[in-house]
Structure 1
Amino acid sequence: MRVSIDSDLCIGSGQCALTSPSVFDTDDDGFGVVRPGQEDGRDPMVKEAVRACPVQAITLDAE
């Protein structure tokens, strides 16, 4: 699985970083980013972070 955040959709609510801090962080402007090396989406909380995003900016795709 591959996780990504659509920066055009992200509103910076921070739900991803709160739900799965080992995978997600926020940039200097407060918008969500995937931590380097965590793009594989293996953390079990990634699916919960996808659900928690209020604007569905996070995608989890099969590779």
Structure 2
Amino acid sequence: MRIVVDLNRCEGYAQCAFLAPDVFVMHGQEALMYDPGPGEERSEQVLRAAAACPVQAITVEGEVLSDVR
């Protein structure tokens, strides 16, 4: 799995950091840092975080779980 965050689109709502804190971390109020290649064991958290992004700044590529609720 590979994650790409459009940092120009990201507005710092931090929903991703709440849902996948091992992958996304806010530094200050606007700076997002993230692991672009988290392990497959985090795929459910990452997919939930990407879906929760209000501005859809997170793209997930590669093999991921297909049944996220």
- Between structure 1 and structure 2, the one with the greater Rg is 2
Gaps of 5+ in 2: 64-69
Give 1:22's aligned amino acid: D
Q: Percent identity?
A: 37
Give 1:5's aligned amino acid: V
Give me the TM-score of the superposition, normalised by structure 1.
0.80
Secondary structure (helix, strand or coil) at the match of 1:59 reads strand
Secondary structure (helix, strand or coil) at the match of 1:25 reads strand
Number of positions where the alignment pairs a residue of Structure 1 with one of Structure 2? 60
Secondary structure (helix, strand or coil) at the match of 2:59 reads strand
Q: CA RMSD in A?
A: 1.8
On the 8 A contact 1:50/1:60 being kept in 2, the answer is yes
Secondary structure (helix, strand or coil) at the match of 1:45 reads helix
**1:58 paired residue number:** 58
